[in-house]
Amino acid sequence: MIRKLTRAALLLALLVAVAIPPARAALPRALAAAVQYLREQDSYSWEVINGDPGPVEQTFETARGTVKSVQRNLTPHLKGRISASGEMLIERDWPDGLVLQTLVTADGAMVTNTPEGWLTHQEILEAIAAERMRPDGPTDRVQWLPLAEAVDTRRPLVELAPFLEPQREFEASGDNFSCAVRIQAGGPAAAGDDSQTIGGATVTLHVVGGVLRDYEIKSQIARYVTRAKIPVVSNSDRIVILTYLPVGRFDVPDEARAKLKSARPRAPG
């Protein structure tokens, strides 16, 4: 009888061990509290500052000779705000003076203030298609139309999500919390998966008084070019500063509100 109970107990223990996954590392308490505080905010703002190391030149040899690659960070300076009603207002500016402002509703419909006035996302796509079909070549609109279409509507928590997964391990240094991940073609790699690794990224989050004030993401990505799969390495440095000042409703021109009535929600991705 005792032997049967022992076997039953062992079988139960085995089933429990299989059913319950091993415990995962939790975020440091101060960081978890700061992230939760950000999640609970209905309205806040953020500013994205991109480090520009200047033109970076790389030279590599191929079967057909020497190839030179020159890269430069052309990502715009960005300011984003979320209102209590769930709308987002995103302003982007480039060194050449171009400024684009995009208003996004809670359901994903958007309008962008362009050099030709406020345009819906669909109108921008139609304008891009029209430029491609012009028999005498595109006009100067091709300089800003693709930029107006490719607006980054990610909120900070969406950008940080791959770094905040339970299996990530953070190093704490004072008010800073750092974590490094590998990046694959499809995104950050899962723990223990060495396939398709093309680079890495490190995030450092700065928590002051229980609040996430800013974070920095540094990444190094290898993009493979030519049939020889030669890697061309690019670096980026992205600093995001958060401000917790609530806004009830954005003050935008009536033209933008009128355009939103005909705008359709943008498809995910």
pLDDT value at residue 227: 58
11 pLDDT band, cuts 50/70/90, is very low
Residue 267, domain member (yes or no): no
Per residue in 27-73, pLDDT (tens digit) is: 899 999 999 999 999 999 999 998 765 556 667 666 666 766 665 66
Is position 99 within any domain? yes
Say what the pLDDT of residue 23 is. 43
Residues 234-254 have pLDDT tens digits of 778 899 999 999 998 899 999
Q: What is the extent of the structural domain holding 252?
A: 26-260
> Which residue type does 44 have?
Y
* Distance from the Cα of residue 246 to its chain's centroid: 22
Retrieve residue 223's tokens: 């993009």
Q: Is residue 15 part of a domain?
A: no
So what's the pLDDT on residue 14? 34
- Whether residue 106 has pLDDT greater than 60: yes
**Whole-number pLDDT of residue 217:** 94
213 domain-assigned: yes
User: Which two tokens mark 139?
Assistant: 């006009």
Look at residue 139 and tell me if it is in a domain: yes
Residue 30, classed as helix, strand or coil, is: helix
Q: Is residue 223 part of a domain?
A: yes
Higher pLDDT, 115 or 223: 115
Mean of per-residue pLDDT scores for the chain = 81
Q: Quick one: average pLDDT of 104-117?
A: 93
Q: What pLDDT was estimated at residue 235? A: 78
Report the pLDDT value the prediction gives residue 182, as an integer from 0 to 100.
Answer: 81
pLDDT value of position 9: 38
pLDDT surpassing 60 at residue 108: yes
Structure confidence by residue, pLDDT tens digits, 170-219 = 999 999 999 998 876 555 545 544 434 578 889 999 999 999 999 999 98
Backbone angles phi, psi at 110, to 5 degrees: -145, 155
Distance, in Å, from the CA atom of 139 to the CA atom of 115, rounded to the nearest integer, reads 13
Average pLDDT over residues 119-129: 94
With respect to residue 19, please indicate whether it lies within any of the assigned structural domains: no
Q: What is the pLDDT of residues 68-82, one digit of tens each?
A: 666 566 788 999 999
Query: Who wins on pLDDT, 130 or 18?
Result: 130
- By the 10 Å C-beta count (0-12 exposed, 13-18 middle, 19+ buried), 20 is classed as exposed
**CA–CA gap between residue 218 and residue 239 (Å, rounded):** 9
Residue written as token pair 């750092």: 178
Check pLDDT > 80 for residue 21.
no
- Counting the structural domains of the chain, the total is 1
Q: What pLDDT sits at residue 199?
A: 82
